[in-house]
Amino acid sequence: MSDTILDIRNATKRFGGLTAVNEVSFTVRRGELLGIAGPNGSGKSTLFNILTRIPFGPTSGEVWFDGQRIDRMAAHRIAAMGLSRTFQKDVEFPDLTACETVGVAATYGKGLSRRDLRDAAEAALDLVEFDPGRRAMPTTDLSVYQRKQLMIASALVMDPRVLMLDEPASGLTRPEISVLEALLLKINATGITVILIEHVLSLLMAVSERLVVLNQGALLAEGPPSDVMKNPAVIEAYLGTRAA
């Protein structure tokens, strides 16, 4: 079995004359926790979109998942293979409870019976340590952090081999970010490969084994987090000034 679970080869996404992702190539190792950083508008979320084909695939390039090419597959087939993602916008169905919301994701990804759906939803909520006393509450009554837990649980209920998280720390307090940090490490310790887009650099530095930095749609740097964040090109991209 190859050590590589995800292989992105010259992935490109164009919207008319705008190139949002430009020939990005890197691999993700089985079981690692990979961080993706970059300034606003650098193409991070668009990269997640084309990897999962939600809502669109790449203009050109190839994406291979566990040895199988997926860049031309339907989104639901990719999800069923074990590539699951979250979005920057929190999961929220105002008329559903937390448990029912996770069940919606299980319905999409697993086609389970009603009883099995509930069991799967409860297991995912257990994994993210969601308060059992709030699982029957409408999602609109949940705190910001609880909605983040719900979002992650909705991705985990699909039994992913690779979990892709898009800025889960957005809107959280420092204590909540610390709790999220422990949760991400816990999820990764179960054997799930995690790819994390995040603007909270302290979180990325704390959990990532390796860091990929995008800028203006292109791969700018890749390597150990401490080395990458000292890279003069990375410093310039974030601060707008070249390091001395």
Whole-number pLDDT of residue 237:
87
The answer, as to whether pTM is greater than 0.85, is yes
Identity of the amino acid at 11: A
Q: pLDDT by residue (tens digit) across 7-55?
A: 999 999 999 999 999 999 999 999 999 999 999 999 999 999 999 999 9
Q: pLDDT by residue (tens digit) across 100-131?
A: 999 888 776 566 667 788 889 999 999 999 99
Contact in structure between 148 and 96 (CB atoms under 8 Å)? no
Average pLDDT, the chain: 92
CA distance 33 to 208: 5
Residue 241 has pLDDT above 60, yes or no: no
Strand partners for 211: 35, 223
Here the tokens at position 188 are 């990764």
Helical segments of the chain, H only: 44-52, 75-81, 98-110, 114-127, 144-156, 174-189, 201-207, 225-228, 232-239
CA distance 24 to 44: 11
Q: pLDDT by residue (tens digit) across 154-209?
A: 999 999 999 999 999 999 999 999 999 999 999 999 999 999 999 999 999 999 99
Whole-number pLDDT of residue 173:
97
Q: How does 29-52 read in b/e, with b if 16+ C-beta sit within 10 Å?
A: eebbbbbbbbbeebbbbbbbbbbb
Write down all domains in the chain, each with its CATH number in brackets.
1-82+162-244 (3.40.50.300), 91-159 (no CATH)
Largest CA distance in the chain: 62
CA distance 113 to 117: 6
Whole-number pLDDT of residue 153:
96
Q: pLDDT by residue (tens digit) across 208-237?
A: 999 999 999 999 999 999 999 999 999 998
Smallest CA-to-CA distance from 105 within 162, 31, 155 is with 155
Smallest CA-to-CA distance from 168 within 185, 148, 195 is with 148
